[in-house]
Amino acid sequence: MATVISPVADICFSAKRAAKALARVDTETKNAALEEIAVALGERAEEILEANALDMQAGREANLGDALLDRLLLDEARIAQIARAVRQIVALGDPVGEVIDGHRLPNGLDVRKVRVPLGVVAVVYEARPNVTIDAAALCLKSGNAIVLRGSSSALHSNEALARIASEAAVAGGLPQGCVSLVAGGGREELAELATQKGAVDLIIPRGGEGLKAALEEVATVPVIYAASGNCHVYVDASADEETAERIVLNAKMQRPGVCNAAETLLVHKDIAAEFVPRIVQALLDAGVEVRGDEHTQTLAEESRGRIEAATEEDWGTEYLAMTLAVKVVSSVEEAIAHIGRYGSGHSEAIVTRETTSARAFQLGVDAACVYVNASTRFTDGGEFGMGAEIGNSTQKLHVRGPIGLRELCTFKYLVEGDGHVRA
């Protein structure tokens, strides 16, 4: 595929041309093309596995850790899972053409606000090769051309997947250039991609703080950071302790390595004497390292023994691991203030039985998702009924929380008259 070896600007120019055609392709054609991709993934599994073997070998030679190697690995089952994910996107409604709003103006003009594709979406991602297909399927379904830029450690796998997706999409009736991959994994390619104004309409980085910082420096195209989350659970004075324990354990442990996992537990002082020993015990029993403020340490020591002190740094840290910081606060307002200071605006939860506390928390916490008596782990496009997501936004413009098909679109106003002129 020429698209894989062309320079970044050429790739983006071709993507832009493809996007213009793609914006007008109907849902049936897009779905048929996605089905072609799903079929091709199965039929050409051997080609994918051969490419992946090269990445795995290079990874072993470069002494990548077991976790990274596992993220890199593809097998028949994982390829089948990638194809299933494509078919799930086929089953979703098409956001393009949805009328978001509409009315007749006093002068008789009819105005409709209609969802349309953004154009060219660039997705920058790290190790997992499955993102190549997930992101491509979401972008194609929402009528966008996609330019992918994965990590160099997965280059052979990503090239094979992008090639198969591109060929199958074109065979299925989508325009040439609708899926392409920037081959180089270096910072130069990233900077080039992030400055293709007039060609790239949006760049979505999926990765850690390093990637975010690198983009912030150079990007001139619009960026939505699918960023990390420093999430809190606040246990109010009135909380049911059993509910609180269940939610804290779920938010921390159900999958500790993801952005909607809890990193800090805040406990109201009036319930702390009972709840802190209980939850510390439960966390330690479950293998979670607990770091407490002074009050928490005292309460824990009385019941269970010394726990580590939480420092200023802990409050701002996204552990993405089996570690939880714990702090006792004197009011829901103090909890809100702590979250306002250290939170990343991702997902925040209160456990309470009092409506006043619930309402104060909902109004006062400035985050994408604010939970009352539920785990932070629900922040997810699939869980929210969007079907799939390309990441979670912690910014305020355009989209907060899960970035699904609708969020990959913009809108335009269609205005119809009978020769209307402005007086």
Residues at the contact surface with its own copies, assessed by CB under 8 A: 20, 23-24, 103, 105-106, 109, 111, 116, 118-119, 201-202, 216, 220, 222, 224, 240, 243, 246-247, 249-251, 254, 340, 351, 358, 362-364, 366-375, 377-379, 383-385, 395-398, 400-401, 410-422
Q: Which is nearer to its own copies, 51 or 118 (CB)?
A: 118
Instruction: Provide the minimum distance between the beta carbon of 408 and its own copies in the complex, in angstroms, as a whole number.
Output: 11
Pick between residue 249 and residue 405 the one whose CB is nearest to its own copies.
Answer: 249
Smaller CB distance to its own copies: residue 285 or 333? 333
101 Cβ contact partners less than 8 Å away, ≥ 6 residues apart: 112, 113
Q: Judged by CB, which is closer to its own copies: 216, or 294?
A: 216
Alpha-carbon distance values, 155 to 51, 193, 209 (Å): 9, 17, 22
- Residue 300 CB, shortest distance to its own copies, in Å, is 24
HSE of 110, CA atoms in CB hemisphere, 13 A: 5
Contact 208, 220 (CB under 8 A): no
Q: Minimum CB separation from its own copies for residue 274, in Å?
A: 18
In this complex, which beta carbon is closest to its own copies, that of residue 246 or of residue 304? 246
As measured in angstroms, the least distance from the Cβ of 264 to its own copies is: 18
Q: Please tell me the distance from the alpha carbon of residue 117 to that of residue 73, in angstroms, as a whole number.
A: 33
Cα→Cα distances 11→18, 266, 318, Å:
10, 49, 36
Q: How far is the CB of 214 from its own copies (least distance, A)?
A: 13
Shortest Å, Cβ 240 to its own copies: 7
24 versus 187: smaller Cβ distance to its own copies: 24
Q: Which is nearer to its own copies, 61 or 213 (CB)?
A: 213
Rg (CA), the chain: 24
Of residues 68 and 218, the one with the C-beta less far from its own copies: 218
296 three-state secondary structure: helix
∠ at Cα 311 (309, 313), nearest 5°? 145
E strand or H helix at 202, and its extent? strand 202-206
Minimum CB separation of residue 197 from its own copies in Å reads 9
What is the nearest approach in angstroms of its own copies to the Cβ of residue 317? Answer: 17
Nearer to its own copies, 65 or 385 (CB): 385
Cβ atoms 211, 131 nearer than 8 A: no
Residue closer to its own copies (CB basis): 129 or 391: 391
Residue 410 C-beta: closest distance to its own copies, Å: 4
Which is nearest to 175 in space by CA: 246, 119, 258, 236? Answer: 119
- Please give the helix or strand (H or E) that residue 267 lies within, else none: strand 262-268
Q: How many beta carbons lie within 10 A of that of residue 62, not counting itself? A: 10
Rounded to the nearest 10 degrees, how much is the dihedral formed by the CA atoms of 231, 68, 284, 306? Answer: -90
The torsion angles phi and psi of 132, rounded to 5 degrees, stand at -50, -50
The answer to whether 195 touches 216, Cβ cutoff 8 Å, is: no
Give 59 or 175: the residue with its C-beta nearer to its own copies.
Answer: 175
Please provide the DSSP assignment of 305-348 as one string.
Answer: ---EEPPHHHHT----SSEEEEEEESSHHHHHHHHHHH--SSEE
DSSP 108-140: S-EEEEEEEE-SEEEEEE-S-THHHHHHHHHHH
Least distance (Å) between residue 309 CB and its own copies = 27
Minimum CB distance to its own copies, residue 116 (Å):
7
